[in-house]
Amino acid sequence: MNLAPVACAGAPLARRNPVAKLGAALLFSLPLIATLDPLTPALALVIELAVLPLFGVRYRVLARRAWPLALGAAGILVTMTLFAADREGTVLFWNVTTGVAAAALGLVLRVFAVALPGIIVFATTDPTDLADALVQNVRAPARFAIGALAAFRLVPLLTAEWQTLTLARRARGIDAGHNPWARLRLFASTAFALLVGALRRGGRLATAMDARGFDSGAVRTYARRQHFGPADAALVAAAALASAAILAVAVVTGFFHPVLG
């Protein structure tokens, strides 16, 4: 599993400070969690897809990384269509009304619109740069930031260890065959063994970090400085303005439907 950025490093917005990109994504997502209408996430998706080339991410790469969202969106669509309690509006077909269709469309669009900024941020940011920026620009505790970075770097080992455990058990003759209950028991036991191994590795990692003074409170130096400049502040401000503009359009057109309304 490759955790390196998949974007063009020379793209204008891909070069921005990791904290600026993360803050811009959070600000841009605020209207999406405050409203229920389908217009707000639709406008957000249009803006996100329009600025995607500025981050150096190709649409094909985005589709490859975002395909699990399609499965989640399909599940939401089916659930809303079959089990929605509010059946207001005109019947379109079977038991699906215009109210159900609008609610389902709004949720599906919101899933993509909320997740897409996070995908863009992590596709254009080196994890080490993000940890350095959190410590230097946000004053996050080094123990937390570097620990999160180490955990993120160790994620690929879980896949490799799962394959090793599966092959080792198969070599010992432990195979579920076509029995679904046996498969479930084997999956649970393998997951437990993987959890035990992860906890042991986490304990060794915490001990190693303490031995290197991550919890000593001493002033640390940095190999790579992360500067937050005017261009980074402009990115955050642009995200805030775009977020406000989306809300304004939803209110003016009458589509605005607050969550708590």
> What value does the mean pLDDT take over residues 228-240?
93
* pTM exceeds 0.95, yes or no: no
Burial group, residue 40, by CB count within 10 angstroms (0-12, 13-18, 19+): buried
Q: With beta carbons less than 8 A apart as the criterion, state whether 18 and 148 touch.
A: no
Q: With beta carbons less than 8 A apart as the criterion, state whether 197 and 161 touch.
A: yes
Q: With beta carbons less than 8 A apart as the criterion, state whether 21 and 125 touch.
A: yes
Residue 6 above 70 pLDDT? no
Place of tokens 């084997």: 186
How far apart (Å, rounded) are the C-alpha atoms in residues 56 and 8?
5
At 7-19, the pLDDT tens digits run: 777 788 888 999 9
Comparing 154-158, 163-167, 180-184, the range with the smallest average pLDDT is: 154-158
At 64-83, the pLDDT tens digits run: 777 788 888 888 777 877 77
How far apart (Å, rounded) are the C-alpha atoms in residues 57 and 53?
6
Q: With beta carbons less than 8 A apart as the criterion, state whether 123 and 7 touch.
A: yes
Q: What is the CA radius of gyration of the chain?
A: 23
How far apart (Å, rounded) are the C-alpha atoms in residues 130 and 3?
13
